């Protein structure tokens, strides 16, 4: 039986503009088995998981569980590593803390996290790029079959701060990988492509190939930003910002600004991918939505260098 990832590869389905939106990520270390809805079905605890879900709802914060790759992912740890990362260009931050009790997370003001205020949480993280590979087989078997070997290989090679993560969306693009501090996600990774991504992010840049988008924005904004990168070849992670994304009669109109003053307007529409394919293993075949940029217009003048 073919998997959802195999169908997607065979159809050469483009991964652009499929990243899970999150202006701020809250990644919580939780060893042990994960359920399909890991926050509430795993060892974190149903009550704490539901409370965190409710607190994050509508704030722009996405909460996910992480664990170290390898065969000992269920070993007990007296303290939990937590990362919080705001991904907005020019205003982002990545901070980390070790907590003895994950219940301390309930003291966080997630609305302020989502708006870009860290309120002194933890300490600044200044290590290697943080890579989170989706491996939750309870959510979709492709994530475990393809994601876990990749995470283990990256960790064994010492290619960065590598974690397994519960859910990044887009199972059919497995193995999927989120990299912080910028919040870009990538599809269909292997050891070579992931190494290239991590080395590039270390230099403050991003890789356009197989990029799903920057989680900072909703999918139309992701499509607009990636279209500008394809047009210009710009790969500096912080060079572009989606300043506006408004619904129109046919879809969305998004404004993308460059740090040098140039701007572009992208007209984005939703299209149904064909032919039908399962969006996850075991699901009925469907036609997932694609974000297509129907036009891209330059409308700004570069600022002269100082």
Q: What is the secondary structure of 39-97 as a DSSP string?
A: HHHSTT-HHHHHHHHHHHTTTTEEEEEEE-SSTTTT---SSEEEEEEE--TTT-EEEEE
d(CA 192, CA 70): 19
* pLDDT score of 65: 95
* Alpha-carbon separation of residue 241 from 23, 126, 146, 209 (angstroms): 13, 23, 32, 19
* pLDDT score of 123: 98
Decide if 177 contacts 151 (C-beta within 8 A). no
- Rounded to a whole number of angstroms, the distance between the first and last alpha carbons of the chain is 60
pLDDT in single tens digits along all 306 residues of the chain: 589 999 999 999 999 999 999 999 999 999 888 888 888 877 788 888 899 999 999 999 999 999 999 875 556 667 899 999 999 999 999 999 999 998 999 999 999 999 999 999 999 999 999 999 999 888 889 998 999 999 999 999 988 899 999 989 899 999 999 999 999 999 999 999 999 999 999 999 999 999 999 999 999 999 999 999 999 999 999 999 999 999 999 999 999 999 999 999 999 999 999 899 889 998 899 999 999 999 999 996 554 433
Residues 6+ apart with CB under 8 A from 233: none
| HSE-CB for 102 with a 13 A CA cutoff | 26
The pair of structure tokens assigned to 92 is 């982002």
* pLDDT score of 75: 63
d(CA 138, CA 218): 26
Going edge to edge, which strands form the sheet with 184-186?
A: 123-124, 93-99, 80-86, 24-29, 61-67, 161-165, 130-134, 177-180, 184-186, 211-214
| Bridge partners (DSSP) listed for residue 265 | 255, 297
| Bridge partners (DSSP) listed for residue 199 | none
d(CA 14, CA 173): 9
């Amino acid at each position: 039986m073919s998997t959802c990832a195999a169908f997607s590869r065979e159809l050469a389905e483009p991964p652009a503009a499929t990243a899970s939106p999150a202006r701020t990520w809250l990644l919580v270390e939780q060893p042990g088995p994960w359920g399909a809805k890991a926050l509430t079905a795993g060892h974190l605890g149903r009550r704490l998981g539901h409370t965190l879900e409710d607190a994050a709802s509508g704030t722009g914060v996405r909460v996910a569980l992480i664990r170290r790759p390898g065969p000992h992912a269920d070993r007990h740890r007296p303290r939990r590593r937590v990362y919080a990362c705001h991904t907005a260009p020019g205003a982002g931050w990545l901070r980390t803390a070790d907590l003895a009790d994950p219940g301390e997370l309930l003291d966080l003001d997630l609305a302020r996290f989502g708006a870009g205020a860290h309120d002194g949480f933890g300490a600044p993280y200044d290590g290697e790029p943080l890579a989170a590979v989706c491996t939750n087989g309870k959510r979709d078997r492709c994530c475990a079959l393809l994601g876990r070997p990749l995470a283990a290989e990256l960790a064994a090679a010492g290619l960065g701060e590598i974690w397994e993560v519960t859910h990044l969306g887009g199972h059919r693009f497995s193995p999927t990988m989120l990299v912080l501090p910028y919040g870009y996600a990538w599809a269909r990774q292997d050891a070579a492509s992931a190494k290239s991504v991590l080395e590039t992010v270390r230099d403050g840049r991003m890789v356009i190939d197989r990029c799903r988008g920057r989680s900072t924005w909703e999918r139309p904004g992701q499509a607009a930003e990636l279209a500008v990168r394809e047009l210009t070849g710009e790969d500096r992670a912080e060079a572009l910002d989606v300043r506006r994304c408004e619904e129109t009669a046919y879809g969305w109109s998004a404004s993308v600004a460059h740090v040098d003053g140039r701007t572009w307007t992208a007209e984005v529409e939703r299209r149904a991918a064909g032919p039908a394919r399962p969006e996850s293993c075991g699901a009925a075949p469907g036609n997932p939505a694609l974000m297509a940029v129907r036009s891209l217009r330059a409308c700004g003048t570069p600022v002269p260098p100082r």
